[in-house]
Amino acid sequence: MAKRDNCIILLVDAPEAGKINPELKTAFGPERAVHINGDLLSSAYRLAKSFSEAIVILSYEKTPKHPDLTWLDQEDPGFLEVKNRTWEERAQDAFQLAFFTGAKKAVLLNHLSPDVKKEWLHQAFDAVNDKTVAVGPNQDGSFCLLGMTQQNARILETHGFSVGKSAENLSERAKKNKLSVFSTPETYSVASEENLLKWMESKEGLPPLFHQPEPAHAPAEHKKHHKRHSRSGEIPVQPPPEKPPL
């Protein structure tokens, strides 16, 4: 794979109750949902960042309390700035930016599906072409990932592609457009206590779900880097891997 040809998209929510997925707030309550959503986002971001064969686009609506993404990554990865856009509009904008800046294939990750494997990303990028889209199903009918090229991005043009049994709906839309569908293994979405427990039990060394919110003035050692102000359409630049000690 050529890294510049592939793009991973992640829609990021500020760690504030007013920005969190309503489904999570219903399942866990506003305050708890903020912490759970933050841990899920951190998990998805680590996966995307560790995938060396693709660039990463982060879609984010900044807030007065969280004007950048240093709460997600101290290196401040930059983001595609959005404002007052729905989840579906943000996804469409991010796909458009990915293709406009030269990516040939793009995969959108659903951060509520924490068990997505790096191998599945490889499979999705390998399978996607102008005649094939990749759809990863969750047990509840939603999707864990969605991959496509610019040629078949038309399956996102109809409103409502992200709601209900979205994996099935997207697959049907693809077939109606005479496209093949590659499916990754089925996984689950953390939208219930049962699936939250499943995720916690499946991972070692998870960040705490109930940590205290980060203080407004972080310790000095966390701010040694120079913050970069994001610009609309900015592509995050990942730092080179650290050299192993001699």
CATH number, domain with residue 85 = 3.90.550.10
Structure tokens given for 63: 């807030």
* pTM confidence score: 0.80
Q: Domain range for residue 30? A: 3-196
pLDDT at 46: 96
CB burial of 188-199 (b: ≥16 within 10 Å; e: otherwise) equals bbbbeeebbeeb
Helices 118-127 & 30-50, crossing angle to 10 degrees?
Answer: 60
Domain annotation covers residue 201? no
pLDDT at 167: 87
Domain annotation covers residue 106? yes
What lies within 8 Å, CB to CB, of 149 at 6+ separation is 99, 104, 105, 106, 128, 129, 130
Domain annotation covers residue 223? no
Query: 116 pLDDT exceeds 50?
Result: yes
Q: How many Cβ atoms are within 10 Å of 132's Cβ, its own excluded?
A: 17
Least confident stretch, 33-37, 54-58, 201-205, 235-239:
235-239
Domain annotation covers residue 128? yes
Domain annotation covers residue 74? yes
Domains held by the chain: number: 1
Domain annotation covers residue 14? yes
pLDDT at 196: 92
Closest CA to 44 of 87, 74, 73: 73
Domain annotation covers residue 77? yes
pLDDT at 48: 97
Domain annotation covers residue 205? no
